[in-house]
Structure 1
Amino acid sequence: MRWIATLLTCCLPFPVLAHPHVFIDTGLEFVVDDAGNLTHVRVTWAYDEFYSLLVLEDMRLDQDGDGVLTEAEEKFLSGFDAQWVEGYNGDLVIRMGETVIPLSGPLEPQATTEDARIVTTHLRSVEGTPVPASDLSIKAFDESFYTAYEVTRPVTVSGPVICQIDRSDPDIDAELAQMQAFLRTLDADYDLEENDIPLVGEKFATEIRLSCPNT
């Protein structure tokens, strides 16, 4: 998270951009059918320790503080992050060319803890016509960058066909330089709440490319 800390430091004079962030380690499982179409995506979110502590305390879970939830507590926690408002994209964008692939809301939510961190999973189905997974671009990001996603957990494919997964990580130094240059153009009393706030989340997102043979 070194580069995220650097970003926060560069933004300290500007309160809106200096909000504390939620840090999430992300994993993705792509489910494809025998025709090479993408049918589902299972998403894993591993929350940072501080945010996990806040959630557990707020929900009065793990009262013994051992970082391990009982089966009943896991059941109670499951779905806490799956109550999405209408229009929320789940901080996941899948594109085929310029077309954004529509996904369902979260299905089969589950939650547990690992090393005092909350880890959740949910399944999303591809809606509409079948989508050939021949050249898809996938990014996990919050465009406001209030939540920072890093694809550090496994990215896999489940299904009867062999697929290729490639990843392209952002040029963090270049993006930070652009952000710092933008901030230097602003007056110290510039009110970001009343003006356009730069949406930088996608600039710091890892791109996953999925290619499966279409049969």
Structure 2
Amino acid sequence: MKFLNSLSIAALFCLGVASQASAHPHVFVDARLEVVADDDGNVTALQNVWRFDEFFSSSVILDYDANMDNQLTGKELTDIGETVRQSLAEYGYYTQISDNGEDVPLAEPDVIHADMVDGQLLLIFSAKPSRPVRLAGHLTFGIYDASMYTAIDFQRDEDLVTVGEAFERCRSAVVRPDPDEIISENSDALTAAFFNDPTDMSKLFATRLDLTCTD
């Protein structure tokens, strides 16, 4: 199995120094996120679908097409999913969960399924928070790359959704921050150093699902 031998996969998930040095997207992803809760009001899963841009997807085909048939099937796709699962652990699977101001890491998913549809790589996986998260107070959920190397976008508000009757006691909104307002409000922090090393400031620009729930 290839583990981080692919230049394209490594560039996306492992070259943190290079990504921080350029601080602008090189890979583009259309995402869908479903936040699932049980009847007791506990978040049980974050279900993800990521669709990668065609240029990046074509480079993955070149790297993982072991039988040289210009398509990805079977073990080739399994290898991609496992490579991503291991590589993204260091980056928290690009997932941001805030439970009343406290960051909650995402637990490692059991498997990441890879597929190639219409020339674009799909990654599909479900994972849960690393600790219990109850629907109470102010919660936020989002997907973003702190290095800004990968641009993860939700094309429609309907791509950030909740699943479960327990969410009936929550007010939800998809928040799409205005970059100009963010820059204006944080002008003192957005120095040249930020653009060389974005760190966690980049989450200010990220689209997120915002919930306010009564317990």
Scaled by the length of structure 1, what TM-score is found? 0.71
Contact 1:74 1:112 in 2 (8 A): yes
Corresponding position: 1:92 with 2:95: yes
Question: What are the within-5 Å matches in structure 2 for residues 6-155 of structure 1?
Answer: 16-17=21-22, 21-60=26-65, 63-65=68-70, 69-71=72-74, 73-84=76-87, 87-132=90-135, 135-152=138-155, 154-155=159-160
Give how far 1:144 is off. Answer: 1.3
Closer, same or farther in 2 for the Cα pair 1:112/1:179, shift >3 Å?
Answer: farther
Contact 2:25 2:148 in 1 (8 A): no
Contact 2:23 2:149 in 1 (8 A): no
Closer, same or farther in 2 for the Cα pair 1:103/1:19, shift >3 Å?
Answer: closer
2:17 maps to what in 1? none
1:5 maps to what in 2? none
1:144-194 superposed Cα distances (whole Å, 9 cap, x missing partner): 1111111226223333434453111011234467899999x86xxxxx7xx
For this pair of structures, how many residues does the alignment match? 191
Closer, same or farther in 2 for the Cα pair 1:17/1:74, shift >3 Å?
Answer: closer
Q: Percent identity?
A: 28
User: Which runs of no fewer than 5 residues in structure 2 stay unpaired?
Assistant: 1-19
1:11-49 superposed Cα distances (whole Å, 9 cap, x missing partner): xxxx92266611111111111111111111112211111
RMSD: 3.5
Closer, same or farther in 2 for the Cα pair 1:123/1:174, shift >3 Å?
Answer: same
User: Which runs of no fewer than 5 residues in structure 1 stay unpaired?
Assistant: 1-14, 187-191
1:60-82 superposed Cα distances (whole Å, 9 cap, x missing partner): 169554xx644555444433321
Q: 3-state DSSP class of the match of 1:27?
A: strand
